[in-house]
């Protein structure tokens, strides 16, 4: 994957982008939102051609007034169709928007800062699982407009949530205490089990009293289900990635430590990973794109659990990635407020101008671009 030379997204946000989402039905529209409190809607198929023969995608619409009062932490499309999307923000609200008119349809007021929310990709029900700062993870019902359930999830709050694509009742949540839990919302005691091994760090309990089962040392920043729902990937703020098999939660199936560039502090907020679907010809080959504080996006092979590549293009910590299956493109963004497009280099065709600029020029004759500066 290489940075696309022929396409780019216009610089629309004035501050960092915390969440982008591409709708799953047509893979045509993208929503991005972040620190500047506004929501921008892009049509990825329509672009204008600039003077340098690159195609520029500008936001086709953006929310008129500030969409939220605080940073928008998560954006998600309605899984069934692209007429609606939801945003949640640190101003304690979750809003449902109509994508045609970019108007608010519904507002849920939760009393704590919301970090993440997800809807079930199966579309069987209209429950939104909300991960916020409180110990309870609430399920909001879109059909009734009120809260359906509360799960006592994590004491210090949770930052990541994912629904299983295979079963409409199973959901995984990752908390600030490093615990990754699987839930079944049909049952009364919903908590099925937690992934991971017991945390034996404290030596003052030498007996069989085991500490809480912990998946990560730090807080879980993102959780993602693999394609068929049998695997879960979770990443925490220090960059350690674990891939779990649902059947055996004791130990991760594969794990890898993503390199963090030296000198960068670990991000302590929620991030969003993206999963590439079956990439041409290799059905089980799934690549996970993990943004991190190291200004790069790590591409990890889910099956082997190894980092394949590091996509470097950002100049500030990356926060979210979105995959576009139809064109096999990755849209990454971060704290610099820019959305970078990644695509396989074979799919690109450089213009004449661009090709000329990429040539070697070894002529020693005097060039007008002589830049030896006399100080």
Q: Binding string, 247-286, against other proteins, x = CB under 8 A?
A: --------------x-x-----------------------
Among 290, 321, 287, 292, which Cα is nearest to 302's? 287
Lateral strand order in the sheet of 84-89 = 72-77, 84-89, 93-98, 103-109
Q: Binding string, 9-28, against other proteins, x = CB under 8 A?
A: --x-----------------
Helical ranges in the chain per DSSP H: 352-357
Cβ proximity to other proteins, 168 vs 310, nearer residue: 310
Q: CB of 356: closest distance to other proteins in angstroms?
A: 8
- Which pairing describes strands 339-343 and 329-334: parallel, antiparallel, or unpaired? antiparallel
**What contacts 188, CB < 8 A, 6 or more positions away?**
none
**Which of positions 208-237 make contact with other proteins (CB under 8 A)?**
none
Determine, following the binding rule CB under 8 A, whether residue 366 of this chain makes contact with other proteins. Answer: no
Among 314, 345, 315, 349, which Cα is nearest to 329's? 345
Determine, following the binding rule CB under 8 A, whether residue 189 of this chain makes contact with other proteins. Answer: no
CA atoms within 13 A on the CB side of 16: 17
Determine, following the binding rule CB under 8 A, whether residue 95 of this chain makes contact with other proteins. Answer: no
Q: CB of 11: closest distance to other proteins in angstroms?
A: 6
State the Cα–Cα distance between residues 97 and 289, nearest whole angstrom: 27
Q: CB of 5: closest distance to other proteins in angstroms?
A: 5
Spacing of C-alpha 230 from chain mean position: 20
Cβ proximity to other proteins, 223 vs 335, nearer residue: 335
Contact region with other proteins (CB under 8 A), list: 164-172, 196-204, 243-251, 355-363: 355-363
Count of positions on this chain that bind other proteins (CB under 8 A): 39
**What contacts 198, CB < 8 A, 6 or more positions away?**
210, 211, 212, 213, 214
**Which of positions 28-87 make contact with other proteins (CB under 8 A)?**
52-54
DSSP reduced 3-state for 334? strand
Q: CB of 239: closest distance to other proteins in angstroms?
A: 17
Q: Indicate which single residue of 40, 71, 95, 314 sits in contact with other proteins (rule: CB under 8 A).
A: 314
Contact positions toward other proteins, by CB under 8 A?
3-5, 8, 11, 52-54, 261, 263, 295, 312-316, 336-338, 340, 350, 353-355, 357-362, 364, 367-369, 371-375
């Amino acid at each position: 994957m290489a940075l696309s030379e022929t396409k780019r997204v216009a610089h629309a946000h004035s501050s960092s982008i915390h969440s982008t989402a591409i709708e799953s039905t047509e893979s045509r529209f993208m929503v991005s939102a972040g620190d500047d409190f506004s929501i921008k809607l892009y049509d990825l198929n329509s672009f204008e051609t600039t003077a340098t023969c690159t195609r520029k995608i500008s936001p086709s619409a953006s929310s008129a007034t500030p969409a939220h009062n605080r940073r928008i932490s998560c954006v998600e499309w309605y899984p069934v169709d692209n007429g609606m999307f939801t945003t949640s923000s640190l101003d304690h609200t979750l809003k449902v928007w109509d994508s045609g008119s970019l108007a608010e349809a519904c507002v849920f007021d939760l009393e704590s800062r919301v970090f993440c929310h997800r809807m079930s990709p199966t579309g069987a029900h209209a429950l939104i699982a909300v991960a916020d700062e409180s110990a309870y993870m609430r399920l909001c019902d879109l059909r009734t407009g009120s809260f359906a359930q509360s799960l006592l999830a994590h004491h210090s709050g949770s930052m990541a949530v994912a629904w299983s694509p295979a079963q409409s009742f199973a959901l995984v949540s990752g908390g600030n205490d490093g615990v990754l839990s699987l839930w079944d919302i049909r049952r009364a005691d919903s908590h099925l089990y937690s992934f991971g091994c017991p945390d034996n760090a404290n030596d003052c309990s030498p007996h069989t009293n085991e500490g809480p089962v912990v998946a990560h040392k730090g807080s879980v920043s993102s959780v993602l289900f693999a394609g068929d729902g049998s695997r879960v990937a979770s990443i925490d703020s220090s960059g350690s990635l674990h891939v779990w098999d649902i059947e055996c939660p004791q130990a991760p199936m594969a794990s890898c430590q993503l390199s963090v560039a030296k000198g960068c502090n670990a991000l302590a907020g929620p991030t969003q990973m993206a999963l590439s679907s079956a990439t041409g010809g290799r059905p089980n080959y799934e690549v996970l794109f993990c943004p991190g504080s190291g200004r790069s996006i790590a591409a990890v092979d889910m099956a082997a659990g190894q980092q394949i590549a590091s996509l470097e293009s950002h100049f500030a910590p990356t926060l979210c990635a979105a995959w576009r299956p139809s064109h096999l493109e990755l849209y990454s963004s971060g704290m610099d407020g820019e959305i970078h497009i990644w695509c396989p280099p074979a799919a690109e065709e450089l213009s004449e101008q661009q090709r000329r600029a990429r040539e070697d020029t070894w002529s020693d004759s005097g060039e007008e671009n002589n830049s030896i500066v006399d100080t």
